[in-house]
Chains A and B, each alone.
Chain A
Amino acid sequence: MKNNNKNVKINALTYIILIIGALCLICIPIYLTLIGSFKTGQDTIANFFSFPKHLLTQNYKTVFSSGFSGYFLNSVEMTVLSVILIVLFVPLGSYAIVRNKSSKFFKVIHYVCLLGLFVPFQVFMLPLTTVAARLHAMNKLGLIFIYVALAVPQTMFLYIGYMKANLPIELEEAAAIDGCGKLKTYVSVVFPLLKPINATIIILNALWIWNDFLLPFLILGGDNAQWTIPLFQYNYVSANQMNYGPMFALYIASMVPIIIVYMVFQRNIIGGITAGSIK
């Protein structure tokens, strides 16, 4: 009985700490942004914490009339195309490495790719901009290729780990006996078996590319028609220092898509990110 009582107390304490942490620290900043987005800038400065007197929708109109939808589409385009190329190219290359373990050439390639895991972006970000400029790749298409290149080390590492454990060579041999060529075998036998790891790869890379600021800042900075949402946000805030109403509306508008995706796929997202960082 006594033990039970103690348990109830501990549980109550657990709830109190968790709720305080969740509400105060995580939800309040989002809530403040939400109410700020329905107030005028002066109102926000004077009464930061108060609920808006009238629900002002002008802020959202301002944000959308400054081209938000275009930047949103740029972000979608960048993320979707980069992730598609990553899932097309990287498992294909990883498969070649896994099935040619004895070849010296592929061993070297494997190590060269793994080396990338340890290279901080700042080591090569400056020469990367020079290379991109020389190849006329300071645009959306160039940035997509750069994302694929930067995704190679971790993505390949995860694919190779998965393939070593889950890809029985017998299936491919059977396909070869049936007269399938290498590409046909890969497409119809190997790739379908990669479904679980593909989900992890898509989540990890999509989240990183969607939220990335530094690369678009370096590569697309000069051409505002190509900006992604994080870059637009940064530049909008620098250009409109005192315009707090539209600023908050912009933060909310940029968070809504990710909140929806998170609510729908939260299990996969949490699982995918944990799996990606443990391995």
Chain B
Amino acid sequence: MKSVDDNWIGRFINKYWKYVFIAPMMILYLVFFMYPMVQGILISFTSWDGISKIKHFIFLKNYINLFSDKVFLQSTSFTIELAAVLISFEVVIGVGIAVLLERKIRGNGFFRTVYFFPAVLSGITVSLIFSQIFQYGIPQIGNSLNINSLKLNPLSNHTGAFIAIAFVMLWQGVALPILLFLTGLMSVPRDVIEAASIDGATPAQVFFKIKFPYLLPSLSLVFILALKSGLLAFDQIIALTYGSLGTQSIGLLLYNDAINSFRFGYANSMGTLLFVVIIVISIIQIKISSKYEVEQ
């Protein structure tokens, strides 16, 4: 022991240990996270193309242009619609399956494993698989059952593509909400439910009056997770449509604008706008969920 602490390295570490301990993590974090983030925000006030040496400061012009840019507005409305669909279905399907999995039936551990499985797969693999199912599988079902709406590849018109993207994102996206709602349901004290059913409460009353409040913390968490996955959607869209058919999410538009259209500053103003939106929503969510915790 003594030999280690006595040499100069040991003495140095003991004296400045807090800085030595924090340095590796902070150096990487500052270089590859904070510095690019600050730069991204600063670049959003310039007309930089991503290549040239000079950056022209144009103040809020990028932001003003955003609000009259048809492509951006279309992409925003698509992204918001997608987020809204993800939020509502993740909540409804999540609560529904969680209620079923909470029942004491044989094999519910097995079902839990199966239902969570999609969450461990890569979004790219899943989207590529589904893009082939949409292209050849769906039309074959439509033709053999003679259902007109299924005879075409869903990825050939806007509505079909929207449903297809939302479906693939939900296929993976409901796994975590199911578990979160299940955790909420399991935290309901058993004796309260028993007392209620002895007093003659119907299962529906038990669910809405007793269990539901325990779901609220998970609800606000699922809301924010689904919203973020919708606002930042990238992998599924690049693999399914590459943003064609009016399905260009903001995340993909931003990439295309910077890399393919050389509008680096402009693209960064979209990113910064997303940042502001997510900060505001996160603060609201934290406020709301801390209120629940006090009430419980």
A residues neighboring B (CB under 8 Å)? 10-11, 14-15, 17-18, 21-22, 25-27, 29, 32-33, 36, 44-45, 47-49, 88-90, 92-93, 95-97, 99-100, 103, 106, 109, 112-113, 116-128, 130-132, 135, 145-146, 148-150, 152, 156, 179-184, 186, 207, 210-214, 229-230, 233-234, 237, 244, 247-248, 251, 254-255, 258, 262, 266, 269-270, 273-274, 277-278
| B binding-site residues for A, Cβ under 8 Å | 1-2, 4-5, 10, 13-14, 17-22, 24-26, 28-29, 31-37, 39-41, 43, 50, 97, 100-101, 103, 105, 111-126, 128-130, 132-133, 136-137, 140, 171, 176, 179-180, 183, 221, 225, 228, 231-232, 234-235, 238-239, 250-251, 254-255, 258, 264, 267-268, 270-272, 274-275, 278-279, 282
- Which of B2, B103, B179 contacts A11 (CB under 8 A)? B103
Assuming the contacts A156-B25, A247-B132, A273-B176, asked whether A254 and B271 have C-beta atoms less than 8 A apart, the reply is no
Q: Which A residues touch B130, using CB under 8 A?
A: 29
Tell me the interface secondary structure of chain A in the complex. helix
Contact B268 A126 (CB under 8 A): yes
Contacts of B114 in A (CB 8 A): 22, 26-27
25 contacts between A and B (CB under 8 A): A14-B105, A18-B97, A18-B100, A21-B115, A47-B140, A49-B140, A89-B28, A92-B25, A109-B22, A109-B26, A112-B34, A116-B33, A118-B275, A118-B278, A123-B271, A123-B274, A128-B36, A132-B32, A149-B28, A149-B31, A156-B25, A181-B10, A183-B13, A237-B128, A262-B117
Which residue of the partner chain A has the closest CB to B100? A14
CA distance A10 to B180 in the complex (A): 23
In contact, A118 and B279 (Cβ under 8 angstroms): yes
B1/A126 in contact, CB under 8 A: no
Contact A93 B24 (CB under 8 A): yes
Cβ of A195 to closest chain B Cβ, rounded Å:
19
Please report the C-alpha to C-alpha distance between residue A96 and residue B22 in the assembled complex, in whole angstroms.
6
Residue on A nearest B217 in the bound complex, by CB: A278
Shortest distance in angstroms between B253's beta carbon and chain A's nearest beta carbon?
10
Besides A95-B21, A117-B282, A179-B2, 4 new A-B residue pairs in contact (Cβ under 8 A), listed by A number: A48-B136, A122-B234, A126-B268, A211-B122
Q: How far is the CA of A29 from the CA of B121 in the complex (A)?
A: 13
A124:B36 contact, CB within 8 angstroms: yes
By a CB distance below 8 angstroms, the chain B residues around A21 are 97, 115
Asked whether, in the complex, the Cβ of B137 is within 8 Å of the Cβ of A149, the reply is no
Chain B contacts for A230, CB-based, 8 A: 122, 124-125
Task: Tell me the minimal C-beta distance from A198 to chain B in angstroms.
Answer: 15
Contact (Cβ within 8 A) B234 A214: yes
A262 to B119, CA, bound (A): 11
Ranked nearest first, the 8 interchain pairs of A and B with the lowest CB-CB distance are A149-B32, A211-B122, A93-B25, A182-B17, A127-B36, A96-B21, A124-B36, A127-B39
Q: Point out the residue from A29, A97, A128 that lies within 8 Å of B129, measured CB to CB.
A: A29
